[in-house]
Amino acid sequence: MKGAEAIGEAAIRAGASAYFCYPITPQTEVAEYLAKRMPQVGGVFLQGESEVAVANMLFGAAATGKRVFTSTSSPGFSLMAEAMSYIAGAELPVVFINVMRCGPGLGGVLAAQGDYWQATRNSGHGDYRCPVLAPCSVQEAAELTVQAFDLAEKYRNPVILLADGMIGQMMEPVSLDSLTPGVPSEKPWATTGCRGRDPNIIKSLYLDPHVLEKMNLRLSAKYRRMVDEEVQVELYNQRDRLDLLVVAYGTMARICKTAIDILGEEGLHLALVRPISLFPFPAAAVHAAARHATRVVTVELSQGQMVEDVDLALRELGPSEFFGRSGGVVPTPDEVAGAFRRLAKGACQ
Amino acid sequence: MTATQTLYSRPEALRRVPTHYCPGCTHGTAHRLIAEVIDALGIRERTVGIAPVGCAVLAYNYFNCDFLEAAHGRAPAFATGVKRVRPDLIVFTYQGDGDLASIGMGEIVHAANRGEKFTVIFINNAIYGMTGGQMAPTTLPGQITTTCPDGRDVRQVGYPIRMSELLATLRTPAYVARGSLHEPGRILEAKRFIEKAFRYQVEDRCFALVELLSTCPTNWAMPPDVACKWLADNMIPYYPLGELKLPEESVTS
Ligand SMILES: Cc1ncc(C[n+]2csc(CCOP(=O)(O)OP(=O)(O)O)c2C)c(N)n1
């Protein structure tokens, strides 16, 4: 299955009942798939007039308690930032899928990881955070899509699936039967008409500073709980002594694994820490692995964004080296292996 | 003892609380008309209102039904989201002219064009009230505001937008009407428009919008009675009252 289609189908299996979208490469296939599929399962498919409108439609639809989502790519994700802030402020569960392309501006349609900051910090204004999940295969994209819906509901918060153009376009076998979505929870807060209860109001305006600060404190406690409970990370090829520790996510992490294998045959010991959750960032795992390594390198399809989180995680062990390609240029495993070889050997001298 | 009959009381769809609106402002009148219609149609318990960003942002504190607070101008997108996943609910947006005709122009036009089956109450007071009296897309030529201190210069910023006329040009069937809240007769007429706009939704017929010419004595810097006269003398000639589009008519066009 194509990555984009697997994401669409996984969302349906997760119980998504509405999808709003605006076409943008490289993920329009999600929309094309769901335009056919949503009506088959009695769900809502709607192409909005802009990503601004789409993200605000999600607010309305999520307010009724349904599982709802969208998919877009970088320039569209920027336009959704406004509504994301309101959705975070009003504490609604919504899944946003950003299949990153390269930028800034219109940039290009090829794979990149330049939206790391935008996703893991705040795309919109104000004091909020969103869980960010980054798949490295089509299977994982399907699995994390399902998880994203459960997480969104668990925390009543937007959740971002951050994929890159390679994941969206790649064809790989997928097992959809292994997907196990959680049971949708009761939503006494939903605006479904006030029969038999007091009216529900879903809002983000608090004019009294003390009331709003209380709200901010409650939200930040929620974000801390995410940090405690939602870290996901893959460790590849860990050993006690490493010539080089690599930190990479998404498609870039797959290329790094191949490069690590190439160098393994040359007798160099490299390992990979692959953050699956970008927020919360697996800082403890990075630090623990780095204690066995003489050097650490962060590899990204950007000019260096996650590397700042890696450096924060490394603390006294840092800073990390950086290797990145951008603009839609995806390095080959040999090119990456070459860079690793230089770093690993440099560390030995 | 004679039996007493209640002829006038607070509608159930309005809460028993004072509002924050300025003296003479017509937002309160508009709220009451909507609430009376909601009561009359018996839909309070399945209604979801959508508040704008503007003076009416706190409308949810006054209406006695479920409510969402939208981002500035995006209420029609919010309403689309609710109505698409829960067509059984009655959904209405309540929006000012800055909200609907400026920052939210895209959302309202496309919602109307898709024929979203919700109801829009559009408060046209020719000014931005909440932010303190700036120029709106509906500000009249020559009208003074804080951001056009010499009066709206149409050579610089164009003519005021007639939203109802603009929306009435769309081929998709819809109900579009313009009423006014400046005098009792017109208020009763406005209520008939509002009732129709909700009824079309209850009958699952079409998109419906009622524009209500409204006063803003504070930012117009006029006593309420003078504001009502100013509305009649200046706004109505530019924004003629009446029904601009009926869904029945557009079927053939
Ligand atoms: C994105 C954004 N831009 C600007 C504002 C500031 N703002 C708040 S209300 C308003 C204008 C409201 O005017 P109108 O819609 O005419 O409603 P009224 O207050 O007159 O009832 C503006 C510009 C905002 N809240 N959000």
State the DSSP string of A294-336: S-EEEEESSSSSHHHHHHHHHGGG-PPEEEE--TT----HHHH
Q: Which chain B residues touch A59 with a CB distance below 8 Å?
A: 68, 70-71, 74, 77-78, 81
Q: Is the residue at B197 inside a domain?
A: yes
A61 contacts B67? CB cut-off 8 A: no
Res B250: pLDDT: 58
Size of chain B in residues? 253
Res B1: pLDDT: 58
Q: Are B26 and B214 in contact, with CB atoms under 8 Å apart?
A: yes
Q: Name the CATH topology of A3-229.
A: Rossmann fold (3.40.50)
Q: Is the residue at B153 inside a domain?
A: yes
State which residues of chain B have pLDDT below 70: 1, 250-253
- Torsion (CA) B117, B119, B125, B128 in degrees, nearest 10: -70
How many Å lie between the alpha carbon of B66 and the closest alpha carbon of chain A? 5
Quote the CA–CA distance of B240 and B231 in Å, as a whole number: 11
Q: Is B72 touching ligand 1 by the criterion CB < 6 Å?
A: yes
Interface residue B63 vs chain A (CB under 8 A): yes
Interface residue B84 vs chain A (CB under 8 A): yes
Q: Average pLDDT, stretch A214-240?
A: 97
Q: Are A270 and A246 in contact, with CB atoms under 8 Å apart?
A: yes
Residue A229's CB is within 10 A of a number of other CB atoms, namely 11
A56 contacts B68? CB cut-off 8 A: no
Quote the CA–CA distance of A20 and A87 in Å, as a whole number: 15
Res A343: pLDDT: 97
Helix or strand or coil: residue A237? Answer: coil
Judge whether residue A272 has pLDDT over 80. yes
Quote the CA–CA distance of A296 and B243 in Å, as a whole number: 71
Q: Is the residue at B156 inside a domain?
A: yes
Domain count, chain B: 1
Quote the CA–CA distance of B70 and A56 in Å, as a whole number: 8
Q: Give, for ligand 1, the residue of B20, B21, B53 to mutate: max count of ligand atoms closer than 8 Å to Cβ.
A: B53
> Which residues of chain A does CATH 3.40.50.920 include?
234-348
Q: Average pLDDT, stretch A268-281?
A: 98
Q: Could you read off the pLDDT of A74-122 as tens digits, one per residue?
A: 999 999 999 999 999 999 999 999 999 999 999 999 999 999 999 999 8
Q: Is B98 touching ligand 1 by the criterion CB < 6 Å?
A: yes
* CATH number, span A234-348: 3.40.50.920
- The mean predicted confidence, pLDDT, of chain A is 96
Q: Is the residue at B237 inside a domain?
A: yes
Chain A residues whose C-beta is within 8 A of a chain B C-beta are 17-18, 20, 44, 46, 48-50, 52-54, 56-64, 66, 68, 82-83, 86, 90, 191-196, 199-205
Q: Are A128 and A57 in contact, with CB atoms under 8 Å apart?
A: no
Quote the CA–CA distance of B29 and B94 in Å, as a whole number: 13
**Amino acid letter, A262:** I
ipTM for this model: 0.96
CATH assignment at residue B145 = 3.40.50.970
Per the omega criterion (within 30 degrees of 0), is the bond before A104 cis?
yes
Res A347: pLDDT: 60
Q: Is the residue at B1 inside a domain?
A: no
Residue nearest to atom 9 of ligand 1 (CA): B54
Cα angle B86, B90, B95; round to 5: 110
Query: In a 10 Å sphere around its CB, with 0-12 CB exposed, 13-18 middle and 19+ buried, how is residue B234 labelled?
Result: middle
Res B252: pLDDT: 47
> Which residues of chain A does CATH 3.40.50.970 include?
3-229
Res A187: pLDDT: 97
Q: Is the residue at B200 inside a domain?
A: yes
Res B253: pLDDT: 45
Q: Are B13 and B34 in contact, with CB atoms under 8 Å apart?
A: yes
Judge whether residue A348 has pLDDT over 60. no
Per the omega criterion (within 30 degrees of 0), is the bond before B247 cis?
no
